[in-house]
Structure 1
């Protein structure tokens, strides 16, 4: 193992607590990176680009923080210009991410908007493609969940279900439909699934259902777009330290968050970036479509 990679992995382990988790903490949704203890590692100091996405143009939904931020930084360092979508309440996180994209010498485009509104979701894509001068990579990363429940199904409200299904599924359809106006042969769509699609938690019944649906959507999309030369894949993260966790889960669950993974800890957003870069690369993943790549700390995805 290279010294550089070893340092990245050791840093991820050091960010986790003695039991694999983090100090007790809660935020109100959607959550901010600056309020997390400790701050997640998005690869700001560790990701080294190798021009694998040089000249490409990418849109990352939910790109202000967490997995989306790590993907945006990695894409920029690999040579891509990047547009990030986010909620207006996340402006400070978005500006921070944009600064890292620009430090990499890439163009950063900010396209705020609530994707649960169809017109807004489609406009986000149009604005991103217009500002970037085209679109080659779409990362459907924006997601919502709610786990502060005493029971499972009985505690799922219609309001919560509407929010989670609209962010995780409706927006996925709208954004992807609109992106197809710009994507062409050799381009790529990457959706974000979850370990919850394979090993669902009772408190995340509605969220887990949407992630299983995303797997199905991805496979069907790959079959439809294959003749056009457009690839569609998904990444299924395990427990990852992002603002979504303290913003949607009970604070007392944080100290053990991720400790049930075979690696004994939660992952850092930077540890997922490689999977996205690989799937987005028209050279390295030219024959990869219709698959779900698990980055779960050892939890099985089958």
Structure 2
């Protein structure tokens, strides 16, 4: 099922579609499922590729039905649905720009209409703009980054909260940029991305406190360099990780699954750091 809720804008910052990447990132869950998310429904933004796709497949293996929201890579979205279905779970894909509030409301409504419930929200959609000269970073590009990376989290969360039950979980995706300020070797040109990721961490911590009484946990994951269509880290970026290599999406997705499950029932307002060994400050 695919619903075009809004004419998708063209995002020039995506270097490749997931289907075109060579070598292909590893999206497959690394271990058998244990039913940790049986009976749950998860909505994942940015689920057409990268970390979002790996999260979708990993949660499906743990028993969840999946809905993904994506911008405009229809073939990639269909591949994510296919991978979820190989895990014997149901999946839908919904096209739209999460930076538009109406898109987020309609997407959540479609999920609830299709599956009858919503238990888990994963905000993984993101964009970034590499600008060598900071003074050349236009207001338009800056607004685009915040609209997708920050406003998208706000809009989707606000829509989802009408349906998330006690025991529900929200997992936001931030980045090592928030902690390194974009200054890690190989990443000196991502000032806008660092700013948006910092906002996501602050949003996560504040919202977690607000939702404690409702029994909804809010956490985040801050990956280091990961092989995805958005980032495609090269040798310099991979060098930021003490392990000396970029991570694979399935190595990050395990964090999202854990935070969505009852295993993380005593965790809220926290950030996990699958970054290849980088020590970060709070």
Give the one of 180, 202, 206 matched to 1:199. Answer: 180
Shift of 1:47: 4.1
Give the one of 56, 64, 69 matched to 1:72. Answer: 56
Hey, what does 1:170 align to over in structure 2? 151
Q: Secondary structure at the match of 1:139?
A: strand
The whole-number CA distance in structure 1 between the counterparts of 2:265 and 2:180 is 30
Hey, what does 1:11 align to over in structure 2? none
2:39–2:63 CA contact under 8 A, matched in 1: yes
Hey, what does 1:119 align to over in structure 2? 102
2:44–2:124 CA contact under 8 A, matched in 1: yes
Hey, what does 1:186 align to over in structure 2? 167
CA RMSD of aligned residues (A): 1.5
Q: Secondary structure at the match of 1:234?
A: strand
Hey, what does 1:102 align to over in structure 2? 85
Hey, what does 1:234 align to over in structure 2? 220
Shift of 1:256: 3.4
Higher helix share: 1
2:44–2:121 CA contact under 8 A, matched in 1: yes
Q: Secondary structure at the match of 2:97?
A: coil
1:83–1:132 CA contact under 8 A, matched in 2: no
2:54–2:249 CA contact under 8 A, matched in 1: yes
Shift of 1:123: 1.1
Hey, what does 1:24 align to over in structure 2? none
Q: C-alpha deviations, 1:128-187, integer Å up to 9, x for none? A: 22212110000000011011x222x21211121111000011111110000000001101
Hey, what does 2:132 align to over in structure 1? 150
Q: Which consecutive segments of 4 or more residues in structure 1 shift more than 6 A?
A: none
Number of residue equivalences: 265
Give the one of 108, 131, 135 matched to 2:118. Answer: 135
Gaps of 5+ in 1: 1-26, 247-252
Q: Secondary structure at the match of 1:241?
A: coil
Q: C-alpha deviations, 1:225-277, integer Å up to 9, x for none? A: 0001000000000000000025xxxxxx7343312210011100010121111
1:190–1:235 CA contact under 8 A, matched in 2: yes
Q: Does 1:40 align with 2:19?
A: no
Q: Secondary structure at the match of 2:190?
A: helix
Q: Please list, as runs of the form range in 1=range in 2, the aligned pairs for 1:44-63 lying within 5 A after superposition.
A: 46-63=30-47
Q: Secondary structure at the match of 1:182?
A: coil
The whole-number CA distance in structure 2 between the counterparts of 1:85 and 1:36 is 21
- Return closer, same or farther for 1:220/1:28 CA change in 2, 3 Å cut-off: closer
Hey, what does 1:9 align to over in structure 2? none
The whole-number CA distance in structure 1 between the counterparts of 2:271 and 2:76 is 28
Q: C-alpha deviations, 1:18-59, integer Å up to 9, x for none? A: xxxxxxxxx954331122121100116x34211110010000
Hey, what does 2:3 align to over in structure 1? none
Q: C-alpha deviations, 1:160-216, integer Å up to 9, x for none? A: 111100001111111000000000110100000110000022311111001111111
